[in-house]
Structures are given as C-alpha cells and as structure tokens.
Amino acid sequence: MKTTQLGHLDPVFLALIDEIQSLLRYVWQTENPHTIAVSGTGTAVMEATLANTVELEDVVLICVAGYFGNHLVDMAGRYGVDVRTITKPWGQVFSLHEISRALEAHKLGTLALVHAETSTGARQPLEEMGELCHKYGILLLVDTVTSLGGIPIFLDDWGVDLAYSWSQIIVGVKKVWVVLLVHHPLL
C-alpha cells in the first residue's frame, strides 16, 4: 500500500506496458505491433474482439466442440451477427477438410474457433487454417485462453488475423490482463 501508484501516462507505466507487449509478442510468436494488454476477464476480451471486428448482419462461422465455442456463439449473436456453426462432440477437433467444406457452403466474413477448449482440453490444429481462410477472403479469429503460455502458438506463421487470451488460465496472473491481437491489413 505504500507503493506510489503510476498514472496511465507515466513514463514508467508506459515502459512497463511496452515490455508486456514485447513479451506477449514473444509468447504468441508474432511481430504484430497491435498486441494490446488491457485489464479484464476472458469474456471481456472475447467481447472486445467481437465488438470491434463484426458488424450487424455479418456472417460468422463458429466451430463448436465445447463450452467456449458455445460462448462465442452466444456472444456473436448478441451483436446481431448471422451466426453459422459447425459442431462436433465435446473433446473432438475439426479437420481442415471439414472446415474447408463449411467455408465453401457459406459466404462468410469471419471464421472463429477455440485453439484449446478449456472445457475438454482438446487442441484444435491451426496449421494451414489461416491460409485456408485467406483463400476465401475470410478473417480467422482464435480464442487462445487455454493455450497461451501452455502450448506453442505461432500466430504469424499460421496466418491468424485476430486472437485473444486471458492471463489467469495458464500464465497464472490473477485477473490482471487480457490480450488482443489484430493482425490483418484490412482492419
């Protein structure tokens, strides 16, 4: 309690934020300067990501194979988005072929999926997913709440356009920050 608080424009605070952003870029394996740390919960950053990337009546395909896939569906629906889903039993993952078929069947703006589903521990492979989405002119949005810091993530190599995470699950920082990455030249 005796520590002096830092204001949001204090040079010491700004240097700390720069360091956090640099470390986040390292753990996410990205060079993206739009890696942002903010205070909040995992749901807050999910909502911030959706609120700032989708518009009324956009078409979003969400891959659902667990609780947080369903949570994405609920959140996107609250924004008036035309939500389409493909589903698998909890704990299973989607093949590139299954997602490719779904992308062909729908005229989409965004594909959203959970990299590591908290409710089951299943890890959705992301290799080639960005390339597939970009072939169709679709943004790739990825929830990395359970994977950030726990398993390797290569956002630049995988072509991920938008990603978010929360520090409490794997990193172990209690309700301090959430992260958002915007990595698309059109945004």
CATH number for position 165: 3.40.640.10
| Alpha carbons 140 and 62: distance in angstroms, whole number | 10
Question: Token pair for residue 123?
Answer: 């890890």
Q: Is residue 120 included in any domain, yes or no? A: yes
Q: Which of 154, 111, 116, 153 is nearest to 135 (CA)?
A: 111
Q: pLDDT digit string (tens) for 21-62?
A: 888 888 888 888 888 877 777 888 888 888 888 888 899 999
Instruction: State the pLDDT at residue 86.
Output: 97
Q: Is residue 4 included in any domain, yes or no? A: no
Lowest average pLDDT, out of 39-43, 125-129, 147-151, goes to 39-43
| Alpha carbons 130 and 36: distance in angstroms, whole number | 21
Q: Is residue 2 included in any domain, yes or no? A: no
CA-CA-CA-CA torsion for 61, 67, 72, 75, nearest 10 degrees? 140
| Alpha carbons 4 and 92: distance in angstroms, whole number | 49
Q: pLDDT digit string (tens) for 60-81?
A: 999 999 999 999 999 999 999 9
Q: Is residue 112 included in any domain, yes or no? A: yes
Q: Is residue 71 included in any domain, yes or no? A: yes
Q: Which of 89, 134, 128 is nearest to 108 (CA)?
A: 134
Q: Is residue 18 included in any domain, yes or no? A: yes
Question: Token pair for residue 74?
Answer: 């609920």
3-state per-residue secondary structure call for the chain:
CCCCCCCCCCHHHHHHHHHHHHHHHHHHCCCCCCEEEECCCHHHHHHHHHHCCCCCCCEEEEEECCHHHHHHHHHHHHCCCEEEEEECCCCCCCCHHHHHHHHHHCCCCEEEEECECCCCCCECCCCCHHHHHHHCCCEEEEECCCCCCCCCCCHHHHCCCEEEEECCCCCCCCCCCEEEEECCCCC
Domain count, the chain: 1
Q: Which domain holds residue 80?
A: 11-182
- Whether the pLDDT of residue 185 is over 60: the answer is no
Q: Is residue 6 included in any domain, yes or no? A: no
Q: Is residue 5 included in any domain, yes or no? A: no
Which residues, 6 or more positions from 109, have their beta carbon under 8 angstroms from its beta carbon? 54, 58, 59, 60, 138, 139
Percent of the chain whose predicted confidence (pLDDT) is above 70: 88
- Whether the pLDDT of residue 5 is over 90: the answer is no
